Chains A and B, each alone.
Chain A
Amino acid sequence: MKFSIFRFNPERDVKPYMQDFRVELEPTDRMLLDVILRIKIQDDSLTIRKSCREGVCGSDAININGRNGLACITPVRELKEPVQLRPLPSFPVIRDLVVDMTQFFKQYHSIKPYLINDEPAPEKERLQSPADRDKLDGLYECILCGCCTSQCPSSWWNPDKFVGPAGLLQAERFIVDSRDRATQQRLDDLNDVYRLFRCRSIMNCTEVCPKGLAPSRAIEKIRLMMVKDSI
């Protein structure tokens, strides 16, 4: 199988380039990550992030034939050859397929991704009804791999000011949590020209999310909550 992989080593290369690789697939090679690791045996300078290798940790998010995804859960035999592998678009490249996610996590932290509740803590824990817990479905599953934000044109143009789909999905996760008491502050914080409203409903985020989540729907729900709140 033929691969064309983005290579860039800042210590050596002036410019990034695409390097071709040819790999014989073994019957046990099912996912793209299996094959990338086989390529790494051919050329151990190839750099990639990976950890859980089963779509839970979100570290091996890369751009596969123009579309962001997790290498570990992408069936390799379904890909069109030569398979073009690039780092996540718009994120600064550290080396080869590894990108700098500092800005991404800065935006994530800006939405205060933790429960805010100043009420005295109950003896055991803050309980939640099953119905309230259900509201977190489709939100809590986000693994912060960055596939959505890296594929979002609004994030490309204003990565420093627009929170991005991943951060906004997380914002919705805490806005709807029945145990959180900072809903109003969270809504006010997002209600400026940039943080939420740079979203043009392009919906690349929902299209590429490897976990099948819908950041665009979360953004829409936040907007509607703001509308209700302002009436």
Chain B
Amino acid sequence: MRKAVTGLRAWLVQRVSAIYMLLFIVFLLTHFLLDPPTSYLDWRNWMLSPGVSIAASVFFAALFAHAWVGMRDVIMDYVHPIAIRVMVLALLGLGLTGIAAWVIQILWMGHG
């Protein structure tokens, strides 16, 4: 029987998200090095092209998952009283959700 809470899943999420973020950053830097955008519009159109905006969305999803697991680990290490821990985790979740909403707004609703 498998346990509901496993440490393996969180650990895998962190490793896989790290690899994706690394690849995406290399891709981004390579693009800017080889084919730098000449104007803001140029850059904006590139960012909003379906392939790039999907890759960027996955990047931010990976970033938030990575940040959640990492911060949760730090909080579990240092914040031991359960009530305070739950509160800090809730604040972290709220903060990350807020930033995620902002990212969605910029990437997917800023087309107008």
- B40 contacts partner chain A, Cβ-Cβ < 8 Å: no
Assess whether A157 is in contact with B8, with CB atoms less than 8 Å apart: no
- A194 contacts partner chain B, Cβ-Cβ < 8 Å: yes
- Choose the segment among B17-25, B56-64, B71-79, B90-98 that binds chain A (4+ C-beta atoms closer than 8 Å): B71-79
Q: Provided the pairs A191-B3, A192-B7, A193-B7 are in contact, do residues A158 and B77 lie with their beta carbons within 8 angstroms?
A: yes
- B2 contacts partner chain A, Cβ-Cβ < 8 Å: yes
Assess whether B8 is in contact with A226, with CB atoms less than 8 Å apart: yes
Chain A residues whose C-beta falls within 8 Å of the C-beta of B8 in the assembled complex: 191, 197, 223, 226-227, 230
Assess whether A192 is in contact with B3, with CB atoms less than 8 Å apart: yes
Chain A residues whose C-beta falls within 8 Å of the C-beta of B5 in the assembled complex: 192-193
Q: How many B residues are at the interface, by size bracket?
A: 10 to 19
- B11 contacts partner chain A, Cβ-Cβ < 8 Å: yes
Secondary structure of the B contact surface, majority rule: helix
Assess whether B78 is in contact with A157, with CB atoms less than 8 Å apart: yes
Of B10, B12, B78, the residue contacting A193 (CB under 8 A) is B10
A194 to B6, CA, bound (A): 9
Of A188, A195, A197, the residue contacting B11 (CB under 8 A) is A197
- A154 contacts partner chain B, Cβ-Cβ < 8 Å: yes
Chain A nearest CB: distance from B28 CB in Å? 27
The count of residues in chain A whose C-beta lies closer than 8 Å to any C-beta of chain B is 17
Chain B residues whose C-beta falls within 8 Å of the C-beta of A192 in the assembled complex: 3, 5-7
A194 to B7, CA, bound (A): 7
Closest to A157 in B: B77
Chain B nearest CB: distance from A63 CB in Å? 22
A5 to B5, CA, bound (A): 45
Closest to A156 in B: B77
Chain A residues whose C-beta falls within 8 Å of the C-beta of B77 in the assembled complex: 154, 157-158, 198
Chain A nearest CB: distance from B13 CB in Å? 12
Assess whether B12 is in contact with A191, with CB atoms less than 8 Å apart: no
Closest to A192 in B: B7
Assess whether A197 is in contact with B78, with CB atoms less than 8 Å apart: no
Chain A residues whose C-beta falls within 8 Å of the C-beta of B2 in the assembled complex: 188
Assess whether A196 is in contact with B7, with CB atoms less than 8 Å apart: yes
Assess whether A197 is in contact with B3, with CB atoms less than 8 Å apart: no
A193 to B7, CA, bound (A): 4
Closest to B76 in A: A193
Chain A nearest CB: distance from B24 CB in Å? 23
- A12 contacts partner chain B, Cβ-Cβ < 8 Å: no
Assess whether B7 is in contact with A191, with CB atoms less than 8 Å apart: yes
- A15 contacts partner chain B, Cβ-Cβ < 8 Å: no
Q: Provided the pairs A193-B10, A223-B11 are in contact, do residues A200 and B3 lie with their beta carbons within 8 angstroms?
A: no
Chain B residues whose C-beta falls within 8 Å of the C-beta of A227 in the assembled complex: 8, 12
Chain B residues whose C-beta falls within 8 Å of the C-beta of A158 in the assembled complex: 76-77
- Digit string of A185-211 for contact with B (CB within 8 Å is 1, else 0)? 000100111111110100000000000
Counting chain A CB atoms within 10 Å of each CB, which of B2, B10, B11 scores highest? B11
In the complex, 6 of the A-B residue pairs with CB atoms within 8 angstroms, ordered by the A residue number, are: A157-B77, A191-B7, A192-B3, A198-B76, A223-B8, A227-B8
Known: A193-B7, A196-B7, A198-B73. 14 other contacts (CB 8 A): A188-B2, A188-B3, A191-B3, A191-B8, A193-B5, A193-B76, A194-B76, A195-B7, A197-B7, A197-B8, A200-B73, A223-B8, A223-B11, A227-B8
